Structures are given as C-alpha cells and as structure tokens.
Amino acid sequence: MTLMLHSGANPVSYDELRAVTTPAATDTHVPVPHHEIVELMRYTLGFHQHEIAEEHHAVTPDGARYFGVLCLRSPYGDYTDMLGLRNSHDKSLPIGIAFGSRVFVCDNLAFSADHVIRRKHTVRAKRELPALLAEIIQPLRDQRMAQNQRLITYRETPITEEMADHAIMSMYRQNVFGVQAIGHVLKSYDEPPHDWGDKTAWRLFNAATFALAGKVTERPDLTKSLHKVIDSVCTRLH
C-alpha cells in the first residue's frame, strides 16, 4: 500500500475515523465528514462490482486532515488497482481522489496517481460528490480490462537480447531511470529474482519495476513512460 505517514498523521481504524468530529458548515465552507467520503467510495465501487481487498486510513492528531488508500482485488491476476483519498476540515486540502495502477498518498501532502481530481468544500461539491465518484468509477471496469489485456500481450511477446538492450536504453533516454540503474535492470532481466517466465516483454517490464523499487511508487509518471516503451516493443512484433 502506498500510504506514507511521516509528517504527523496516525493510522486509524474505520470505526475511529467515524468518531472524528466534523466542524459546522459556514456560507463558504462545507466540510464533508472523512468517513462519508470513504462510505460513498465503498458504495460506488460495490455498485460497479469492484471488490475492495484492503484499505488503510490515517488522520492528523486534531482530526482535521484525512488520508486513505483503497486497494482493489483484481479478477484478472495478482496485481492491483488503487484509489487514494484525501480530505480536510480546516480548509488546508480540497477533497482529493486519485486512482490508477500506482497511487501515492502522503501526509506531507504529496498526492499523485494516473488520474487525480480535486474539489473545494462547497455546498455544490458536497451535493455533487456522489455523481462525481460515479463518473470516476464507471469507466474503471473498462480500464482494468484494458490493463489486463496489455499484460497478457506482454506475457505473449518473446523478445531477443538485442530488443531487450534497445528497450532498456529507450527507458534511460526517456528518463524512466538514470544511468546507474541500467545495470540493475539488465541483471534483473538476465537473472530474475522471481519467476517471470521466459524472456518476454513481461519479464522485461518486471525487471524494470523491480530495479526501480520505491521510485515507481512515488512517481506514477514513471509507470506511464515504462508502459510506453514496452508497448512499442510489442507493437513492432505484432
């Protein structure tokens, strides 16, 4: 899970989250209880038949700021999609929703993913929040199916040593990683630390993400760039 806490927030259970007091609304600021955002997300995910495998929540000691991550169980394999949530009662943060294959939520206010939306705490935002969540979640099924098909293509695309070398240099040129990581990617590809099968685009993709380790978690844009390189390898062969 990519919920990082090192700026004062503490992990809490969902029951503890429900107990956090929400301040009264004003004409210009309408706080939304932290737990209501989670409940709306749970309901919307369930309505669209997505199963939550794991969830984590955290709040600051005064209860003013909330950070959360929901991990979705994949019907296609051993990978996951995630949603990040963020909220505040003190006007410091808008309502935030992030989703994608890589999500990073931190109490130092870092908040990133493939897709991120934010809404200020207004009467209109609270009224429109259910529709907003539905708008996000509705296309998620097709996105997850497309991602699964992409990974199947990776698994079914054998590559030569020359192609692997070219792809790794393309990753370097596109700033997926620095020059110091090239050797790590090559080693992970030639001597996989896990069973990634034969020398395919799938094995190369895993070698790159393994060598990058936490950098992929903190910078979801790296995943996009990495997919772009691997996709180009597969396109040339199909």
Residue 145 domain flag: no
Tell whether pTM > 0.85.
no
Q: Which two tokens stand for residue 185?
A: 């990617």
Residue 119: give the domain boundaries.
3-139
pLDDT (tens digit per residue) in 155-173? 999 999 999 999 999 999 9
pLDDT (tens digit per residue) in 47-106? 888 889 889 999 999 999 999 988 888 776 655 677 888 899 988 888 888 876 656 566
Count structural domains, the chain. 2
- Nearest alpha carbon to residue 60 among 100, 98, 10: 10
83 lies in the same domain as 33: yes
Q: What span, in angstroms and rounded, lies between the C-alpha atoms of 183 and 178?
A: 10
50 lies in the same domain as 22: yes
Residue 151 domain flag: no
Phi, psi angle pair for 46, to nearest 5°: -65, -40
132 lies in the same domain as 87: yes
Residue 21 domain flag: yes
Up-side HSE of residue 206: CA atoms within 13 Å toward CB? 21
Residue type, 62: D
Cβ atoms within 10 Å of 108's Cβ, excluding its own: 11
Residue 150 domain flag: no
179 lies in the same domain as 131: no
Report how far Cα 232 is from the mean position of its chain's Cα atoms.
23
